[in-house]
Structure 1
Amino acid sequence: IPDDFGMRLDFDIPPQEREFLQKRKVLVGQALQKLLGLSSPLEPKKVPVIAVVGSGGGTRAMTGLFGGLKGLQQVGALDAVTYITGVSGSTWAMSTLYQDANWSKQDINSVISVIEGRITKSFMSSLSKEKRRYYDHEMEERTKEGHLMSYVHKWGLIIEHLLFEKVKNGLPSKTTTTLSDQGRAVSDGQNPFPIYTAVNMMDKISGCEPEAEWCEFTPYEIGIEKYGAFVRTEDFGSHFFLGHMIKKLPEVSIPYLIGIWSSAFSVSLNQLWQVATGSTPAPEEVTVDSQQANEAEPSTMDTYLVNQCTDATGFERFLKNRPVVAQVYNFMRGLLLHWDYNEYCNFKAWNNTHPDAYPNRLTPNDPILNLVDAGHAINIGCVPILRPQREVDLIISLSYSWEPANILKKTANYCKDHDIPFPNVDYAIMDAAHEKEVYVFEDGEDPNAPIVLHFPMVNDTYRQFKAPGVPRKGEKEMKAGEVDVKTNKSPYKTKNLTYSKEDFRALVDLTSYNVINNKQHILNILRRAVEKKAAKMTQ
């Protein structure tokens, strides 16, 4: 690779992340010593890698993740976490937290209180005349810089108004922080390493099933692991050809990336047709919990997949179009990254109904990337931390999706397709009438499969207890325990971008309670992860 090459072509993690891991393992070892009552800190090589994964679900996912992280902080487990990943709404919480370079060392309640004051204002405030003028101006400025702008990026500016807005001289003050700025928050290993997600959709090839190529965003680099191709975060969106930077564009601020990460509305015409007609999903269709489709049903939208056609038709291609999608200049353009791709499990070249079966139609041949909310693939952020190079031993799943079993099924299927170790999940337990506050999944036969500690969005013992072991008393306290997270009347439907203060605080309290109430489960699994890591080191 020439010295002036502008990319990193490698399936391994970058050197900056390796350096972070060395620093973080020291801190995690100390945290586990304190938490588990060990006689001494763990050796860095024996420290298990623990990842928290957040789900999609708009404001519900953001609020729930705040509550879940608050609970982990209170039981002392947050300092033992190495990675945090997010999809869609959970990226809103992450983006807010990582504004502070030492957020995990401070009381998360302070951030929650700030967000409470912002997310409880009227959504219509984001559509005022002044706001619309501000959005148009910002979009125009980014277009002048050379970036490709769409309604997806305007959506990110609306989220900016709801989450980050600051007023200066009576006018909105824009958020100027960038993703690369978040490098300050991991420079000394002081916080878990953040990974944001989107997917590049390959769904316009006639006669082929769609393919969602996972794109990960970190403070150091952005790339698609499938191809082993990454660029520096500050260079994302610039013009590349054959791996060389042709034209450097300014790095966009966080709100524009949030628009990409949470573009649940980037649906195909097929999906819009299904919603409009109320057609019954076919067996091969998948469900994405990213946007409301039918108010009479749970707050999910079914992603409609076109049945394979025997002949390529223009109408089929038309139905696969996505009217609103984030387009970014493709940093892989012109590269031939498939010469030995049939040797890698990242590709399905053997399947002649898959886009990978057509080397000349792979993403490096495209001038642009079509990036959408990763919830259109799997509505939880497991995929990035399941990369073998990250060697994750324990996944703490904070899932605030309406369909917790479905996202684990999809994750398990993804792992099977890509030869990635993942525990066998007993979905029948999760589909049972009485849902539990936490589930533990472990593969006793494969030592390389991570342990999964899964917290779904349920209201079980919280109805009777306002805190672990503290029963509710009186009508007011009993009413406070009736947090509706399941019915059609729930205030937490994905379509609701703002909440009342009471509803916001109730969801934070519920999700933090569910974690704190299962402290012993967490400690037991942390101890099991330590033992499992030690056993692997002696093999």
Structure 2
Amino acid sequence: MASQVVTTCNMCACVFPGLCSSSEDLDVRLGFDLCTEEQDFLCKRKNYVAAALKKVLQLEEDLQDDEIPVVAIMTTGGGMRSLTTTYGSLLGLKKLNVIDCAMYLTGLSGTTWTMANLYRDADWSQQDLSGKINEARKHVTKCKMGSFSMERMKYYNKQLCQRKQEGHRTSSIDLWGLIVEYLLHDGKDNHKLSDQRQAVDQGQNPLPIYVAINVKDNYSTLDFKGKDIPEMYLILNLGGMWSSLFSLNLLYIWNLSHTSEDFWHRWTRDRVNDIGKFPVLPMRPHEQKTQVFTTASPLSRVLRGAITERTSVAQYHSFLKGLQLHNDYLENDKFCRWKDTVLDTSPNQLTETAEYLSLIDTGFFINTSCPPLLRPERKVDVILHLNYSAGSQILSCKYYSEQGIPFPKVALSEEERKNLKECYLFDDAETPGAPILLFFPLVNDTYQSYKAPGKLSAVANRFSPYSTYSVTYKEQDYDQLVKLTEYNILNNKHLILQALRTAVERQKRHKKYGA
């Protein structure tokens, strides 16, 4: 398999463009620190970030390496809506020279389509984005009926057969990936993830991180919260997974209308109970607790299978198969297992026995690409949270609190939640390790008064032209959505500069006092 870095982030799998290119060609790196290649990238990227921050904040002196804050741009999913709004937001950030201030750009679902298009160009963040926005406009607004023509169907079948012959596991999600390829491009897209090395090898663009969730058979989505084969094409093979609108199961649908799945856990899962007292002396590496394992009843297993069966999921050969970690890994203070993670219980909690990784769109669990940015080793100081959700526009801060992850507290009244502004700055200085958060909900606030009166009255409403399941926009709808998200960024320049200035001042204080 062509070299690429894949790391697991407890609830999700995070895919980086191929930074790893060691002479030993190792397939898996075990360690808690950032890989050497990412550290090298950050060193190169600091040159761009330092110059950009000096210009944006009008600083008199150059920033030293240990005075440069880590800024990240984070997006959420939403099909064509998030593809379009990502372009608009990045256009606004480009005009403010803030893209050059960012170390990372993370995405999921439809935002990965935008990222995949951008990172074809080795210097995209240094260039005018209008050309790429116009190219995307052509595909978003074109008629999509051709994707179901007999000619295309024959092409899909040929590609799926070829993929299977190469050793890949195919499913209906691969067919969706082929359809996505047609929706976003005129012809076959041969761009690969490893091709994006050229866009990061000099630190000239933020490091892109694509996020997905690893799930297992017979578990609900909410339970998760190496063969030598050719590398897959980015949009054709991975684009479908990053927008797997059909990777639902009945239990997920049940949870859309119910607050708990305790009933299903109680009556359909295998049960493992500890018995006996814990030993006085520490357990030896080869010893395990005494447990009683009770399998679910036949009826429960049938029920569980029926309600957790996914109609489609992307499957890839698991690089974790047979992986054995040190017996004391749980005792390492750097290992953090999120509470919603389901791990194997025997014989080793991180021993992966499945032959395939089953990946789905992160939006089915939590519509955010934030988790990889919350790794303590990345030390992210500022997050620009660009929200493109179709439903609630409020941050899921409760989730991070339950996981024990440092994150700013969001305190909004009921009235404020009903009438959201374009941008909020949350800075929880009392929580060590919590980043400064700039939250941009997808709302049409002052834009409708000053730019487009009477238009875009319902941007994120499911009945608007921008529904998550809408794959074709009218030209005026596309243009208005790009303009809205660009405007929301530009209109809140003062808050963005305030966050960046606070982060720089905080870094200087840490350097001076060692706090």
TM > 0.5 between the two? yes
Which residue in the other structure is 2:211 paired with?
197
Displacement of 1:536 in angstroms is: 2.5
Contact conserved, 1:49 with 1:81, CA < 8 A, in 2?
A: yes
Change (3 A) 1:310 1:201: closer
Q: Give the letter for the 1:54 counterpart.
A: T
Paired residues, number: 458
Q: Give the letter for the 2:259 counterpart.
A: P
**Distance between the aligned counterparts of 1:144 and 1:442, measured in 2?**
53
Displacement of 1:185 in angstroms is: 0.3
**Distance between the aligned counterparts of 1:331 and 1:362, measured in 2?**
13
Matched, 1:491 2:479: no
Matched ranges for 1:438-457 at <5 A: 438-457=423-442
Displacement of 1:427 in angstroms is: 4.8
**Distance between the aligned counterparts of 1:421 and 1:143, measured in 2?**
44
Q: Give the letter for the 1:333 counterpart.
A: K
Q: Give the letter for the 1:413 counterpart.
A: Y
Task: Tell me the SS of whatever aligns to 1:198.
Answer: strand
Match of 1:66 among 87, 96, 100: 87
**TM-score relative to the length of structure 2:** 0.83
Displacement of 1:338 in angstroms is: 6.8
Task: Tell me the SS of whatever aligns to 1:309.
Answer: helix
Q: Which moved more, 1:11-20 or 1:388-397?
A: 11-20
**Distance between the aligned counterparts of 2:412 and 2:327, measured in 1?**
39
Which residue in the other structure is 1:183 paired with?
197
Task: Tell me the SS of whatever aligns to 1:9.
Answer: coil
Task: Tell me the SS of whatever aligns to 1:370.
Answer: strand
Match of 2:231 among 245, 251, 273: 251
**Distance between the aligned counterparts of 2:343 and 2:209, measured in 1?**
26
Matched, 1:535 2:515: no
Q: Give the letter for the 1:503 counterpart.
A: D
Matched, 1:521 2:495: yes
Displacement of 1:95 in angstroms is: 0.7
Displacement of 1:395 in angstroms is: 0.2
Matched, 1:80 2:95: no
Displacement of 1:478 in angstroms is: 2.7
**Distance between the aligned counterparts of 2:268 and 2:251, measured in 1?**
18
Contact conserved, 1:483 with 1:507, CA < 8 A, in 2?
A: no
Task: Tell me the SS of whatever aligns to 1:308.
Answer: helix
Displacement of 1:429 in angstroms is: 6.2
- Listed one character per residue, the Cα deviations across residues 281-311 of structure 1 (whole Å, up to 9, x for unaligned) are 22226xxxxxxxxxxxxxxxxxx99443276
Which residue in the other structure is 2:303 paired with?
316
Match of 1:146 among 167, 188, 191: 167
Matched, 1:106 2:127: yes
Which residue in the other structure is 2:481 paired with?
507
- Listed one character per residue, the Cα deviations across residues 250-301 of structure 1 (whole Å, up to 9, x for unaligned) are 10011211111211321113345x4xxxx9722226xxxxxxxxxxxxxxxx
Displacement of 1:109 in angstroms is: 1.2
Q: How many percent of aligned residue pairs carry the same amino acid?
A: 41
Contact conserved, 1:57 with 1:494, CA < 8 A, in 2?
A: yes
Displacement of 1:248 in angstroms is: 1.1
Match of 1:115 among 104, 113, 136: 136
**Distance between the aligned counterparts of 1:161 and 1:445, measured in 2?**
49
Contact conserved, 2:70 with 2:382, CA < 8 A, in 1?
A: yes
Q: Which moved more, 1:497-506 or 1:130-139?
A: 130-139
Change (3 A) 1:354 1:15: closer
Contact conserved, 2:460 with 2:467, CA < 8 A, in 1?
A: no
Task: Tell me the SS of whatever aligns to 2:453.
Answer: helix
Match of 1:434 among 403, 413, 419: 419
Which residue in the other structure is 2:287 paired with?
none
Contact conserved, 1:405 with 1:431, CA < 8 A, in 2?
A: no
Displacement of 1:431 in angstroms is: 5.7
Unaligned residue ranges in structure 2 (runs of 5+): 1-22, 270-295
Displacement of 1:316 in angstroms is: 3.3
Which residue in the other structure is 2:443 paired with?
458
Task: Tell me the SS of whatever aligns to 1:334.
Answer: coil
Displacement of 1:434 in angstroms is: 1.1
Change (3 A) 1:536 1:305: farther
Displacement of 1:321 in angstroms is: 2.0
Contact conserved, 2:173 with 2:312, CA < 8 A, in 1?
A: yes
Contact conserved, 1:67 with 1:508, CA < 8 A, in 2?
A: yes
Q: Give the letter for the 2:267 counterpart.
A: C
Matched, 1:402 2:370: no
